[in-house]
Amino acid sequence: MPSITIDGVAVEAAPDATILEVAQEAGIRIPTLCHLRERSAIASCRVCVVDVEGLEHPVPACSTPAREGMAVTTSSPRVETYRRIALELIVADHGLDSTSYCFSCKKNGACELQDLCREFGVLASSYEVAQKREPVLDANPFLSYDPNLCIRCQRCVGACNEAARNHTLVAGKRGTRTTIEAPFGEGWRATDCESCGNCAQACPTGALVEKRRAAYRSWETERVRTTCPHCGVGCQLDVMVKDGRIMDAEAADGPSNRGLLCVKGRSASFDFVDAPDRLSTPLVRNPVTGELEPAAWDDALDLVARRFTELRDAHGGESLAAFACSRSTNEDIYLFQKMARAAFHTNNVDCCARV
């Protein structure tokens, strides 16, 4: 294992690790913008430049392999200047007035560019700022792309191609006019886009976003880490809770999903929670009208217990059955089968494993 020093601290580097990875492992912060683990390592933004002893010019930490004996300095007047220039170039590309200086941006407060600019004291760009008013692509139900805010870091491209491997989102045009061809415009249905939104999660700015972000600011929300309620993959996700409502979901770096989600996990895993047709009171069938009518919990539970007890006592436990949903928690199901076996006296217990 190569040994290097970062700001004078000796650290061991994993084989093939980059300076950035070694620093992160050692808990030393190097600012980054375009880099996103397992998504994008194209090294485009130069925010992570560091000095390496013996090299004339600074190098991007995210793409430079750590080599035995390297002496890395993460901050110097030149490095800081270059980072600031990089940010000013990016801000000039990003523009500020199409969102009224972040005011109307969906990512305000959750924008990595905004955070870095604040950190480096970049309040505006000293370069010519693009006056872009390109149309926003927002026909997709969940995702939208505002080319005016795009800084062309290609994290979304990495997310679609390197992570989701869907190969739908690509860089379009070329050279200085490089842009992102996001499949969210008219005709989005005809594309191979799976609407998984991994691109949006990768976007550091407000360019490629989940539309749900319009309804909240990240500082208003609390994150709760949980497991997706749909298929058996067990993707880890964070639901974003604002005022007792789930506003959005984001992928977490779980062992089975590695930071990925599908369209269902990201966008269709929580609206049902406060759907207007959620049941909020027990219903009991009126023997006269044959209709289900609201009832008090005690009455409903008593009725349930009484009728099952009667049937059990009259016909034996085998006359009862209990089926649990396979999307309930282990704890629910454990107690449910315990109820069946211990209270119903039946082994006629099953789940929808075969459905």
Partner 1 sequence: MIGAEETLTRLSIAPRARDDAAVAAVAERFARRVRAVPPGTCPLAFELAFLQASAAQTCGKCVPCRDGLPQLAALLSRVASCEADEEDVARMRALAEMVRDTSDCAIGYEAAAALLDGLDAFSDELESHLRLGRCRKGVGQTVPCETLCPAHVDVPGYIACVAAGAHADAVNVVRKDNPFPTACAFVCEHPCEARCRRALIDAPVNIRGIKRYAVDAAPADTVAPPPRSVDTARTVAVIGGGPSGLTCAYFCALMGHRVTVFEARERLGGMMRYGIPAYRFPRERLDEDIRGIMQAGTITVRCGVEVDAETLRDIAGTYHAVYVAVGAQAGKGLSLIGAETEGVLSAVELLGAVGDGELPDFSGKRVAVVGGGNVAMDCARTAVRAGAEEVSVVYRRRREDMTALAAEVESAVAEGVELVTLEAPERIECDEEGRCAALVTRPQMIGPVKRGRPAPVAADKPERRMPVDVVLIAVGQDVVTAPFEEFGMRVDRGRLVADERLRAEGFEHVFVGGDCQTGPATVIRAIAAGKVAACNIDEHLGYHHKLAYEVKVPSALPSDRTPMGRVELGERPARERKRDFTNVEMGMSGEEVAQECGRCLRCDQFGCGVLEGGREQYA
Partner 2 sequence: MLGSGAMTNSIEDVTRKADIIMLVGSNPEEAHPVVGMQIRAAVERGCRLIVVDPRDIGLAAQADIHLKLKPGTNVAFANGVVNYLIQNGLYDEDFVRDRTEGFEILAATVRDCTPAWVEEACGIDRRDLVQAARMYAAADAAAIMYCLGVTEHSTGTDGVMALSNIAMVTGNLGKPGGGVNPLRGQNNVQGACDMGAGPDDLPGYQKVADPEVARRFEKAWGVPLPRTRGLKATECFPAMIEGGIKGLFLFGEDPVRTDSDTAHVIRALEALEFLVVDDLFLTETAKYADVVLPGRSYAEKEGTFTNTERRVQRVRKAVEGPVGARLDTEIFTEVMNRMGYDQPLLSAAEIMNEVASLTPSYGGMSHERLDSAALAGRGLQWPCPSEAHPGTPILHMGEFSLGLGAFSTPEYQPSAELPDAEYPLMLTTGRVLYQYNACAMTGRTDGVNEIVDRSFIEINERDAAALGISDGDRVRVSSRRGAIQSTARVSGKTNPGQTWMPFHFQDGNSNWLTNAALDRVSKAPEYKVCAVKVEKIG
Binding site for partner 1 (CB under 8 A): 42-46, 49, 56-58, 60, 78, 81-82, 85-86, 89-90, 92-93, 126-128, 152, 154, 171, 173-178, 190
Count of residues touching partner 2 (by CB under 8 A)? 115
Which of 128, 186, 277, 289 lies at the binding interface for partner 2 (CB under 8 A)?
Answer: 277
Q: Say how far apart CA 252 and CA 258 lie, in whole Å.
A: 7
The least distance separating partner 1 from the CB of residue 328, rounded to whole angstroms, comes to: 40
Taking residue 283's Cβ as centre, other Cβ atoms within 10 Å add up to 12
H helix runs in 256-296, sequence order: 263-267
Pick from partner 2, partner 1, none: which does 139 bind, CB < 5 to 8 A by kind?
none
The least distance separating partner 2 from the CB of residue 2, rounded to whole angstroms, comes to: 24
The least distance separating partner 2 from the CB of residue 235, rounded to whole angstroms, comes to: 5
Token pair 């379009």 is found at: 172
The least distance separating partner 1 from the CB of residue 189, rounded to whole angstroms, comes to: 12
Position 118 contacts partner 2 (CB under 8 A): no
**Please, which of residues 14-33 interact with partner 2 by CB under 8 A?**
none
**Please, which of residues 282-341 interact with partner 2 by CB under 8 A?**
282-285, 292, 295, 297, 300-309, 311-312, 315, 317-341
- Is residue 225 classed as helix, strand or coil in its secondary structure? strand
Contact 22, 4 (CB under 8 A): yes
Position 232 contacts partner 2 (CB under 8 A): yes
- Residue 197 to residues 81, 141, 191: CA-CA distances in angstroms? 35, 11, 14
Contact 184, 145 (CB under 8 A): yes
Pick from partner 2, partner 1, none: which does 341 bind, CB < 5 to 8 A by kind?
partner 2
- Is residue 346 classed as helix, strand or coil in its secondary structure? coil
Tokens of 14: 């994993």
Which of 164, 182, 200, 207 lies at the binding interface for partner 2 (CB under 8 A)?
Answer: 164
Part in contact with partner 2 (CB under 8 A); list of ranges 44-52, 94-102, 144-152, 275-283: 275-283
Position 216 contacts partner 2 (CB under 8 A): no
Contact residues for 156 (Cβ-Cβ < 8 A; gap 6+): 169, 180, 182, 199, 200, 202, 203, 208
Pick from partner 1, partner 2, none: which does 127 bind, CB < 5 to 8 A by kind?
partner 1
The least distance separating partner 2 from the CB of residue 279, rounded to whole angstroms, comes to: 4
Q: Which is nearer to partner 1, 46 or 106 (CB)?
A: 46
Contact 95, 125 (CB under 8 A): no
Part in contact with partner 2 (CB under 8 A); list of ranges 76-84, 114-122, 178-186, 243-251: 243-251
Position 214 contacts partner 2 (CB under 8 A): no
The least distance separating partner 2 from the CB of residue 65, rounded to whole angstroms, comes to: 20
The least distance separating partner 1 from the CB of residue 90, rounded to whole angstroms, comes to: 6
Contact 62, 48 (CB under 8 A): yes
Angle in degrees, CA 18, 170, 117, rounded to 5: 55
Pick from partner 1, partner 2, none: which does 308 bind, CB < 5 to 8 A by kind?
partner 2
Q: Say how far apart CA 21 and CA 281 lie, in whole Å.
A: 54
Position 350 contacts partner 2 (CB under 8 A): yes
Q: Which of 216, 205, 44, 208 has the alpha carbon at shortest distance from 114? A: 205
Q: Which of 302, 314, 312, 310 has the alpha carbon at shortest distance from 341? A: 312
Position 233 contacts partner 2 (CB under 8 A): yes
Position 182 contacts partner 2 (CB under 8 A): no
User: What is the b/e burial string over 134-172, where b = at least 16 CB atoms within 10 angstroms of the residue's CB?
Assistant: eebbbebebbbbbbbbbbbbbbbbbbbbbbbebebbeee
